[in-house]
């Protein structure tokens, strides 16, 4: 169903406040969720509010983020079990300020959960003319290529670069599907894509209720599994355990670089623009779709939704959120 964007944001905010978040933090989370929804990632959009509530249960959400170490070029944060959207935003704000001052910076965080769409943070940094490399580790739901036991998290890796126009942002999970995809499929009673998960016996399954006794399939074969392992170990660098418990103690790392320290920023952007145009001008193989850059598709979907003033939301998710606000459930 289509929902006016302002109404969707207000609904998300109201449910998050009712869940126990301060109005300010509810707005921060809602904006991140809405961005995912606008870009077409519904499992990481408004539906995630229901997963947040399931994870918290009757507990008041943590909102206290501690700085455990800080220098001019780095910082380490302890999320103290705070939701990853808030930890990620604080880490992004800090790394931007430090990189603009020193040319390069890294901020790592531990003891958080569900860090969201890493492109959300990369886009904020790109607006400040910074390049970013971001990784996020999580619970070992994903197998290594050739296995069926969970070893790695869904472990997204993100690289973002500013340009004269839209930033170029690659944000990919190293698993075939996300944890959020499985949770949403359970909620809606739908099946998973074929060859995306295993059950406890190591058999391919499309049943979302079997996956957490088995594992999610890795993306990209041995190369994807190798990348996932590196992200998991970057989580260790951030202070996370090698195998975080379910929805706890995730690790996040954000590296930001100021390209103006290497060459004039206008010159840098001109070359990035040339590359982007080169992709557009490249011939398309027979039967293939038009070539596009990372982030371009979801940014286009968001722009179209913003122009229309409406966002697509699953009706079941919408009705559940409304019932929560009304106090029915």
The rounded distance, in Å, linking the Cα atoms of 231 and 233 is: 5
What's the confidence (pLDDT) of residue 328? 86
CA dihedral in degrees (192, 198, 199, 202; nearest 10)?
160
Is domain 65-172+228-282 annotated with CATH 3.30.1370.60? yes
Q: Whole-model pTM?
A: 0.97
- pLDDT tens digit sequence for 9-50: 999 999 999 999 999 999 999 999 999 999 999 999 999 999
Domain ranges of the chain: 2-60+298-326, 65-172+228-282, 176-217
What's the confidence (pLDDT) of residue 265? 98
- 């999970």: which residue's tokens? 173
The reply to whether domains 65-172+228-282 and 176-217 share a CATH topology is: no
What's the confidence (pLDDT) of residue 329? 83
- Residue 278: φ, ψ to 5°: -60, -35
- Residue 248: φ, ψ to 5°: -150, 150
Regions of the chain with pLDDT less than 50: none
CATH number of 2-60+298-326: 1.10.1530.10
Identify which of 27, 76, 42 has the alpha carbon closest to the alpha carbon of residue 312. 42
CATH number of 176-217: 3.30.60.50
- pLDDT tens digit sequence for 302-323: 999 999 999 999 999 999 999 9
- Count of alpha carbons within 13 angstroms of residue 7, beta-carbon side: 12
């Amino acid at each position: 169903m289509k929902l006016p964007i302002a109404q969707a944001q207000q609904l998300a905010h109201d449910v998050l406040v009712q869940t126990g978040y301060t109005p300010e933090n509810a707005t921060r989370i809602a904006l991140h969720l809405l961005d995912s929804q606008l870009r077409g990632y519904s499992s990481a959009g408004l539906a995630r509010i229901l997963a947040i509530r399931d994870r918290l249960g009757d507990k008041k959400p943590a909102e206290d983020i501690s700085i455990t170490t800080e220098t001019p070029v780095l910082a380490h944060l302890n999320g103290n079990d705070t939701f990853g959207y808030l930890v990620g935003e604080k880490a992004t704000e800090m790394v931007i300020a430090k990189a603009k001052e020193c040319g390069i910076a890294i901020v790592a965080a531990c003891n958080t959960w569900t860090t969201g769409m890493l492109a959300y943070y990369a886009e904020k940094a790109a607006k400040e003319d910074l390049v970013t490399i971001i990784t996020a580790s999580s619970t070992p739901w994903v197998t290594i290529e050739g296995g069926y036991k969970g070893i790695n998290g869904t472990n997204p890796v993100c690289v973002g670069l500013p340009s004269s126009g839209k930033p170029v942002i690659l944000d990919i999970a190293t698993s075939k599907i996300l944890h959020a995809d499985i949770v949403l499929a359970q909620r809606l009673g739908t099946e998973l894509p074929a060859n995306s998960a295993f059950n406890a016996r190591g058999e391919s399954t499309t049943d979302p209720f079997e996956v957490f006794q088995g594992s999610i399939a890795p993306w990209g074969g041995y190369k994807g599994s190798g990348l996932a392992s590196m992200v998991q170990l970057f989580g260790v660098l951030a202070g996370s355990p090698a195998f975080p418990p379910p929805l706890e103690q995730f690790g996040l790392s954000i590296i930001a670089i100021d390209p103006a320290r290497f060459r004039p920023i206008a010159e840098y952007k001109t070359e990035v623009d040339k590359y982007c145009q080169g992709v557009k001008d490249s011939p398309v193989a027979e039967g293939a779709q038009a070539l596009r850059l990372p982030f371009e598709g979801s940014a286009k979907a968001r722009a179209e939704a913003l122009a229309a003033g409406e966002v697509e939301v699953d009706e079941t998710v919408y009705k559940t959120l409304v019932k929560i606000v009304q106090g029915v459930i």
